[in-house]
A = this chain, B = another copy of it.
């Protein structure tokens, strides 16, 4: 490890997170299942393929426009299962609480988590609660994990993109991270941007109904769209070209980005997905997505090519080209 202590950037989902995983975790824990580093791990069993996944949530503030840590924790794990094409079987939720935390706030958060579970059609089947002394944690942290079954014929993974595939995004980007930043009030900006935090398993089901042969699904959370595309290009050994003008932003998100100098391509989303699909199936899948409220603004934003393996090229609106690197540095901590 290049660093002797953990930096905030190690948790930001970009280059340093990647280094921490590949230099510290993977060499020790290494096995073929973990090594794929997909949103869910895929475990083959005698009768079926299981998807399992886990994520900790440390978002700050705990409540924000469009959601709260409970909704976020439930949706995040449901979405990681959905990104493997899995049908969720059950969700676990583990709470680390700070002594002195309000039981009323906890109740609101658990109620919101359950409402999101209902929305996603999943059950919270197991849980745990630990309490630490005042000052040893901040409010509460939630870790969710989930297990699901992957239907026969479904086989997705970041390494499965092929030259000629189309790249789809399910809607405008950046809402979640901008909503969190505005909710923190750090920039003396007020706004009405709401987090896009939502369970995507229903949308994925509609896509699979059209075509089981989806190559890659990823939700562009920490690190944003650019980092996810870079990870796919790296894992598949392909190039990806996306067109800036096809990637949409809500007007207010664009305004915040312009004002504060954020690059929306690196902002976290919690209710969007990137799909890499065979070109001849792209229109059919897109049509099915647009019939769903969570995919209403879905668009084809680019294509997979054999040139420039491992690289992502953005065709800018002014006609130039820009190489998209993974997120480097910390951007903002605790957005999920």
Chain A interface residues toward B at CB < 8 A: 1, 3-12, 17, 20-21, 24-25, 28-29, 31, 33-34, 40-41, 43, 45-48, 50, 52-58, 89-90, 92-104, 106-107, 110-111, 113-114, 117, 123-133, 135-138, 141, 143, 145, 147, 149, 333-334, 336
Contact = CB atoms under 8 A, between A and B. Distances in A.
Contacts of A126: 33-34, 40-41, 52-54, 145
Contacts of A48: 45-47
A3 B127 CA distance: 21
A111 B28 contact: yes
Contacts of A96: 56, 58, 96, 141, 143
26 contacts: A1-B103, A5-B101, A6-B97, A6-B98, A6-B106, A6-B131, A8-B99, A9-B131, A10-B131, A11-B97, A11-B132, A24-B106, A25-B110, A29-B124, A31-B125, A33-B125, A34-B127, A47-B47, A52-B90, A53-B126, A54-B126, A54-B143, A92-B145, A133-B334, A141-B141, A145-B145
Q: Which 9 A-B pairs have the closest CB atoms?
A: A11-B131, A143-B143, A47-B47, A54-B92, A145-B145, A41-B125, A41-B126, A136-B138, A56-B94
A134 B143 CA distance: 20
Contacts of A12: 131
Nearest to A76: B128
A31 B107 contact: no
Nearest to A29: B124
A149 B48 CA distance: 12
Contacts of A131: 6-12, 333
B135 A137 contact: no
A52 B125 contact: yes
A24 B103 contact: yes
A71 B43 CA distance: 23
Given A54-B127, A110-B29, A141 B145 contact: no
A54 B93 contact: yes
